[in-house]
Amino acid sequence: MILLQLLWSFTKIGFTSFGGLSMIPVISNEMQVNHWMTAEEVSDIVAIAEMTPGPVGLNCATFAGMRTAGLPGAIVSNLGVLMPTLTICAVVAIFFQRFRNSPVMRRVMVGVRPACVGMVAGVTVSLSETSYILNDSISLPGIGIGILSLVLLLKFKVSIPKVIGLSALLGLICFGIF
C-alpha cells in the first residue's frame, strides 16, 4: 500500500515539474502532507541532493522512499519521477527522430539552439554565485579550484571524473584542514 502511495506521489511530482529546483516546493508539500518527512528534513535532503550525483528530484525520491519503505520504496519512487520520461518523452523521441530533418523543424532549431546556449550560460553564472561565494565573501580557494579545473578540462583534456575527484581532494585540503 505504501509502495502505491509513493508511486502515485512521485508520479505527480514528476509530471508537475520541469526539472531542477522547480520540483522542490512540490516535493516539500507532498512529503509533509503524507508525513514522510519534516520541513527540516526536506531542506536537509535538498542540500544533500545538490552535493551528491544525480538530479534533485530523483535524489529526494530515493531518500523519501528509503525512509518510508526501504529499497523497494526507493525504486518505486524513482519510477514515479521517471514516468514523464518513460511516457511523454518516449513519444516525443519517436516524433523528434522522424521530423528533425523537416524544413520547419530545421528553421525552428535555428532559434532554439542559441536560446539553449543562452540558458546554459545563465546556469553557469547562477551556479557561480552559489559555488564561489561562501558566507557572503568570495572564496579564493574555491576560485583557484575552479580555474585549475577549467585549465585541466580545456587545455589538457582531462576527463570529467578525474577533475571531480581532484577537486574533492582539493576541497578536503582547502576547506577541511584550513
Q: Which of the residues 129 through 168 are near another protein (CB under 8 A)?
A: 130-132, 134, 139, 142-143, 145-147, 149-150, 153-154, 159-161, 163-164, 166-168
Which region among 1-9, 26-34, 91-99 touches another protein (by CB under 8 A)? 91-99
Q: Which is nearer to another protein, 33 or 120 (CB)?
A: 120
Q: Which is nearer to another protein, 29 or 126 (CB)?
A: 126
Taking CB under 8 A as the criterion, the residue among 1, 18, 136, 137 binding another protein is: 18
SS (H, E, C) the chain: CHHHHHHHHHHHHHHHCCCHHHHHHHHHHHHHHCCCCCHHHHHHHHHHHHHCCCCHHHHHHHHHHHHHHHHHHHHHHHHHHHHHHHHHHHHHHHHHHHHCCCHHHHHHHHHHHHHHHHHHHHHHHHHHHHHHEECCEECHHHHHHHHHHHHHHHCCCCCHHHHHHHHHHHHHHHHHHC
Taking CB under 8 A as the criterion, the residue among 39, 43, 121, 133 binding another protein is: 121
Taking CB under 8 A as the criterion, the residue among 12, 15, 32, 34 binding another protein is: 15
Quick one: how far is CA 79 from the chain centroid?
16
Q: Is 86 in the site for another protein (CB under 8 A)?
A: yes
Residues 49-68 close enough to bind another protein by CB under 8 A:
49-59, 62-63, 66-67
Taking CB under 8 A as the criterion, the residue among 8, 16, 38, 39 binding another protein is: 16
Instruction: Kindly state the smallest distance separating residue 54's Cβ from another protein, in Å.
Output: 3
